[in-house]
A and B are shown apart, each in its own frame.
Chain A
Amino acid sequence: MSAKTKDLRHPLKRARGLGSAQFGVSHWWTQRVTAVALIVLGLWFAILVLGLAHSDFATARAAVAKPWNAVLLIAFIVCMFWHAVLGLQVVIEDYVHTRWKEVFLLVAIKFLAVLSVLFCTLAVLRIALGA
């Protein structure tokens, strides 16, 4: 307690709402919000891909280059990888019981997801901006 003497908040105030995971309900809540976004964006993406299923390179590129499609595609990518990380995190926490492997995987999926989002976004922007 001696290190905490300058903290004037009551210990209960610091703990309340955080739960055993220390993140409160933010993980659960973010998973639901991205899920709702993905209902709309996922269906939109499925329709976009279906429309392009048999099209050639130029048609596919032109479709992705349209401003609305480019913006929604980036939104879809961000939500998809975010939701995927939140889901995989729970799976890893549930089944990987060796602490260092668990931490390694938890960090690895976050790095992989962020890199993937950046790569996808750059790809969409290159197409949309005609680079």
Chain B
Amino acid sequence: MADTRPLSPHLQIYKWQVQMVTSILHRATGIALAVGTLIVLWGLIALASGEDAFNQFKICMGSPIGMILMIGWTWSFFYHLCNGIRHLVQDAGAGYGIAQFVRSSWASILASIVLTLIVWGYVLSAGGAA
């Protein structure tokens, strides 16, 4: 691509609003989850390989870095899920009023945070590392 071509206004030009945050986060969490698929791959291979491999997997996931990553992936999962449902509703042609658009954006964000808190409340209260 030639560098001299004019560019359309990009992110820094616009005033921040919640609809644009949900759109960007959908893509960002999608990329994060695509990387997270490799954890599913690792976990299943470890489970099939034997007890030592599986315990090593559990130790890694239960380490501080592992837990931080898992909390991140949990939120990414719930956010992409909630906002994905929102997108499917919009693909069906509903919810396009500006007020509805803003409201459903906040609903996706809040629901994903609440679900993440519930899950990690459960995981941590049930004892032991994830």
Tell me the A residues contacting B by CB distance below 8 Å. 32, 35-36, 38-39, 42-43, 46, 50, 53-54, 57, 60-61, 64, 73, 77, 80-81, 84, 87-88, 91, 97, 116, 119-120, 122-124, 126-127
Q: Are A126 and B37 touching (Cβ within 8 A)?
A: no
Q: Which of B37, B54, B77 contacts A60 (CB 8 A)?
A: B54
Q: Are A39 and B84 touching (Cβ within 8 A)?
A: yes
A25 to chain B, nearest CB (A): 11
Q: Are A42 and B77 touching (Cβ within 8 A)?
A: yes
A64 to chain B, nearest CB (A): 6
Q: How far, in whole Å, are A35 and B86 apart by their CA atoms in the complex?
A: 12
Could you pull out 14 A-B pairs where Cβ atoms are within 8 angstroms?
A35-B88, A39-B84, A43-B81, A50-B122, A50-B123, A54-B127, A57-B51, A64-B44, A77-B44, A80-B37, A97-B1, A116-B38, A124-B44, A126-B48
Q: Are A91 and B54 touching (Cβ within 8 A)?
A: no
**B contact residues around A73 at 8 Å (CB):** 44
Tell me the B residues contacting A by CB distance below 8 Å. 1, 27, 30-31, 33-34, 37-38, 40-41, 44-45, 47-48, 51, 54-55, 77, 81, 84-85, 87-88, 91, 119, 122-123, 126-128, 130
**Interface secondary structure of B, over-half rule:** helix
**Interface secondary structure of A, over-half rule:** helix
B122: nearest chain-A partner, CB-CB: A50
Q: Are A120 and B41 touching (Cβ within 8 A)?
A: yes
**B contact residues around A80 at 8 Å (CB):** 37, 40
Q: Are A32 and B91 touching (Cβ within 8 A)?
A: yes
**B contact residues around A126 at 8 Å (CB):** 48
